[in-house]
A = this chain, B = another copy of it.
Amino acid sequence: MPLDYPPPFTQLTRELRRLPGLGPRSAERCALWLLGHKDARPAQLAEAISRAASEIQPCQKCGFFATGPLCEICSHTDRQGRELCIVEQPTDILPLERSGAFGGLYHSLGGRLAPLDHIGPSQLRIASLIERIREEHPTELILALSADVEGEATTNYLVEILHPLGIPLTRIAHGLPAGGGLEHADQLTLQRALTGRRPAGS
């Protein structure tokens, strides 16, 4: 009867394998590294996981990661009463922040409309969005959802809902990505880049 690793080892491999992108091989490699490598810090990793899982919660306003009731962005006084940028996921907020092109507040919907997966408007944070808009009076609502079918459908739905509120409503531009050559762009991207063309030389 061939032997196996001791149970705590296989248990560790099993848990590591649940992480996205880790197959059985790489999970075993990580476990071996954690238990045997001189640079491994298993105690610190375990502690970091427990701490993050217990301390991080969604911001009650925008849905971003927070350690208190409000995230750092929503607690910022400079950002109040400015533009409100609506995104699908809390993870969409940081790329926008890192772009340095926006200094207002965010609102994560927690997903997008997907009737096949039974995700309708009431599964998304839309009621709280409207409540926020009524309370905070943002100067502009910016829709920054994905440029795919479900993202478009959700954007269209939000336009219908938000337009009556009488606040300037925009959506981020779709077109050729930075560094992207025309020869690599797909048909839809080029269509949108053409439709969204703007006066040059101004």
A-to-B contact residues, CB < 8 Å: 2-9, 11-12, 14-16, 18-22, 26, 29-36, 39-53, 55-56, 65-67, 71-73, 76, 90-91, 94, 97-98, 100
- With both chains docked as a complex, state the minimum distance between the C-beta of A34 and any C-beta of chain B, in angstroms: 6
**Contact across chains for B9 and A56 when beta carbons are under 8 A apart:** yes
Contacts known (A41-B18, A52-B31, A52-B42); A36 close to B90, Cβ less than 8 A: yes
| Residues of B contacting A19 in the complex (Cβ-Cβ under 8 angstroms) | 30, 33-34, 45
Q: At the interface, is chain A mostly helix, strand, loop or mixed?
A: helix
| Residues of B contacting A7 in the complex (Cβ-Cβ under 8 angstroms) | 67
A/B interface sample: 18 pairs, CB < 8 A: A2-B97, A2-B98, A3-B71, A8-B51, A8-B55, A9-B52, A9-B56, A9-B65, A12-B51, A14-B48, A15-B45, A15-B48, A18-B39, A19-B30, A21-B30, A34-B52, A42-B53, A46-B49
